[in-house]
Structure 1
Amino acid sequence: MKVLVVGANGQIGKQLTHLLQDHEGYTVRAMVRKEEQAAPYQAAGIECVLANLEGSVKELADAAKNCQAVVFAAGSGGATGYDKTLLIDLDGAVKMMEAAEQASVRRFVMVSAIGAHHREYWSEEIKPYYAAKHYADRMLRQSSLTYTIIRPGGLTNNPGTGHIAAAENIRGGSIPREDVAKTILLSLDEENTFRRSFDLISGDTPISEALSSI
């Protein structure tokens, strides 16, 4: 399976791209916006494509051509305004869904945010971000794609434990980015996660076991 990682310059995207590259069952294409972001991947022998989520659906469909799965791990980031949240986390995500459909990609994994499906859980400080995630996730559920929506809790750079808690509703918690990347990897072929959404935090259950029993 060839996987397009959207947001491959982000922290989760970078870890996932290298996990896919090292896995015998997958090949990977890293999608980035700038030549300088592509250079380290190219030096490591990893295929890259330059594309911008603020560009056209056709540009994004071309980026996904000949892939069998898309992972959307992109985000506008905390340093930008809510205009970019709207254009990247919502419209960019929806355009990527449309592009996947145009490119005949069936599998789509979305990295969302814990509690995004419940308005009463949204943080007041970043409510527009949660709104963007909520409606992007809703559009994905209504699409023709075989989706998985992963809603991680607070992200840390602690070493991964390989153990998680995954369920439809979890109130708060955190998780290392490494474990989020590994959960995405193991979700790609786990049929129990197909057309499913779940919150994700650190826990006591091995990742593969947790995904098979959601």
Structure 2
Amino acid sequence: MPTAHEAGKQHTGPEEADQPPSMSSHAGAPAPPSRNPCCLCWCCCCSCSWSEGRRPAWRASGESKLQPLPSCEACSTPSPEEAQSWAQSFDKLMHSPAGRSAFRAFLRTEYSEENMLFWLACEELKAEANQHVVDEKARLIYEDYVSILSPKEVSLDSRVREGINKKMQEPSAHTFDDAQLQIYTLMHRDSYPRFLSSPAYRALLLQGDPQSSHEA
């Protein structure tokens, strides 16, 4: 039979286990939420623990050219002369911050803004020198614009898509070059002519014209 001393040990042991000293100051605190992944693939349509945990890492790692583009471009007001120059070539439009902003707004009305966003993301990727950041950005571009599960998937042919899937095994700053060119060509041939005929573009051409204001 156990002695009285041993019995006392046996009695106090469970109580000590129920109230460990390290947890006493946090009694009643809720348990931290679990971070179980919600899916098994790269896609932006769900809040995966993978993407949620890594998005801030590359965005904070280097001054991204892409992040400030929306606000900076949105505040640029082109002169009628600058707007007129966009009709000379698609390249002139895409090399103008105000032109990209106006064209992007037009694409939004046609529900194809993802084409411009993808092109901008590829430009940002090509300017990145840090290989770790390149890996992260490439995977995010893939899940946002290439994955068939993404609501922002861009239209790519099977050859280009297959090439991307192979290159994603070892991503580089030029992983999406073929895809970027294909989307650039699509915007040039399909959306650009409609943009030049749009009321929004004509309004930019007439902006600041006293005669047009008087007629209005």
Q: Do both proteins adopt the same fold according to a TM-score greater than 0.5, normalized to the shorter chain?
A: no
Compare the two structures and name the one with the higher strand fraction.
Answer: 1
Larger Rg: 2
TM score, norm. by length of structure 2: 0.27
Q: Which has the higher contact order (CA 8 A, sep 6+)?
A: 2
Q: Scaled by the length of structure 1, what TM-score is found?
A: 0.27
